[in-house]
Amino acid sequence: MTVHRPPSNIASASTATTTHPSALALGILLLGGFITVFDLFVVNVAIPSMQADLGASFADIGFVIAGYEVAFGVLLIGGGRLGDRHGRRRLFVLGMAGFAVTSFLCGIAPDATSLIVARLLQGATGALLFPQVYALLRVLYDEAGRRRAFGRLGMTLGLAAIAGQVVGGLIVESDLFGLGWRIVFLINLPIGLAAAWSARVIPESRAADALRVDWVGIGLAAAGLLLLLLPLLEGPRLGWSAWTWISIVASVVLLALFLGWERRIAGRGGDPAVDLALFRNVAFSIGAVVVLLIYSTATSLFLCFALLTQSGIGLSPFEAGALFAPASVGFIAASLLAPWLVARFGNSTIAAGALIYAAGICWLIAIAAGVDGRAGALALLPPLVIFGFGQGLSMTPLLNLVIGSIAERHAGMAAGFISTMQQVGGAFGVSVVGIFFVRILDRQAGAGLSEAQRYADAFSGAMIYNVAAILVAAALIAVLVRIRRAGEK
């Protein structure tokens, strides 16, 4: 389980003074956070149904997930700056309405390609919506009210993740109005439009010193990442034909142009999407790699686990979601304990959490190999709880460790970049893990194995990347902790 973290604009100065917004205003802001996270998690339990209904390949469903994360992540900083400049409530309304409409487009998609395009648009509107939630909670409350509001937001996002698995699975399985998986998107339309209309009760605010939006830089980064993800997802199915390599080369060129453009913008005193001067800080550079690695393991595991439990073992969407729910509970428990554990034992606790995370996945791999039907699925519960606990213990305090290495005046920019790395990491992980998952699944077709065994073998092979990435991240966290200690002396 993993939830979004605050982007760059929460540290901006604002033209609004702290007020006492109504309970309805707070509820609407919390709803904005809820539906964004709920939609991320509900897709996991709906993926096998989408695949069957649309005749979608693994590459298609991988892009349904990765496309949303890339669009959300790359546009996140731009969304925050637009709210600073043009009004956070206004952008919240536009984002919420846009999220509702693009969710409707997802729900009526006639084929996999249409669904992928709709998900890209949905991610883009989510990037308009989500930053405003954090910014408005920060500027509309005094210090005491802010602590309560952010505490409720944290609880809301945690509940959204659990609801996405359990309630989402129930919605898909219930086949409301004969719509199947489509209802998980269509339900956002009335909710989102009602929230957008009701958002007029939220006080407006702007930043007095809002940064300009670097659209050229954002465009280069988005195009470069999409041209990288597309061949990684489609390459295994198409035998790595010539266009996949051309796409990878084009991606490298565009990302190099992005770096050159950002350097040029900063050099002439502009507002780059990412200030490359941040990477002169070795601790921050290492931390950015750690975030990319850790977050690359989360979404990919959810996807492969959904296919294992539903397409392989034969669980229904609700049963699969309910089976995964204890992992979310473990994540929340660890998230609540993490601040106390870090204060008591130091930042090495984060590396220990990563090792527990890796151990949980290894245990999950071992148990999955022996599950050959629905009756044995409950044996997956203990490793899922350990996995969730380790994930929460490593992810929750990690961002504070990484951003804490940056001077306060650059904290907003650093937070925005790290938030983007979370989403890009998730998309990258889906792409890489898909290479192993598809190869193993195809290789064993016609080998006389049960579907449960085929999917268990594909899951185990794909998760080798996850374990390796987490172990490398744990080692880098240990290095980062030593650097921080040396800097404090």
Both tokens assigned to 179: 């719509």
Instruction: Mark out the alpha helices in 87-142 (DSSP H runs).
Output: 88-107, 112-140
Q: Which two tokens stand for residue 108?
A: 């009526």
- Is the domain defined by 20-200 classed in CATH 3.30.450.30? no
Q: How many residues in the chain?
A: 489
Within 8 A by CB and 6+ apart from 385, the residues are: 326, 327, 329, 330, 360
Instruction: Please state which CATH number belongs to domain 278-489.
Output: 1.20.1250.20
More confident residue, 135 or 362: 362
Per-residue pLDDT, averaged over 459-470, amounts to 93
Asked if 153 and 133 touch (Cβ cutoff 8 Å), the reply is: yes
Q: Looking at the predicted structure, is the pLDDT value of residue 440 above 50? A: yes
Task: Give CA torsion, residues 238, 241, 243, 244, to 10 deg.
Answer: 70
Amino acid found at 374: R
Least Cα distance to 10 among 424, 413, 421 occurs for 413
Rounded CA-CA distance 126/130 in Å is 6
Give the pLDDT of residue 1. 57
* Domain extent listing, the chain: 20-200, 214-272, 278-489
**Same fold? 20-200, 278-489:** yes
| Average pLDDT over all residues of the chain | 85
Give the per-residue pLDDT at 408. Answer: 65
Most confident stretch, 95-99, 167-171, 477-481 = 95-99
- pTM (2 d.p.): 0.86
> How far apart are the C-alpha atoms of 149 and 139, rounded to whole Å?
11
User: In this model, does residue 251 exceed pLDDT 90?
Assistant: yes
* pLDDT value of position 123: 92
Q: Hey, what are 326's tokens?
A: 């204890």
pLDDT band at 487 (very low <50, low <70, confident <90, very high): low
Residue 10 has pLDDT above 60, yes or no: no
The whole-number pLDDT of residue 475 equals 94
Q: What is residue 3's predicted lDDT score, i.e. its pLDDT?
A: 55
Binned at pLDDT 50, 70 and 90, residue 369 comes out as confident
Mean pLDDT on 304-321: 87
Residue with the larger pLDDT of the pair 104 and 154: 104
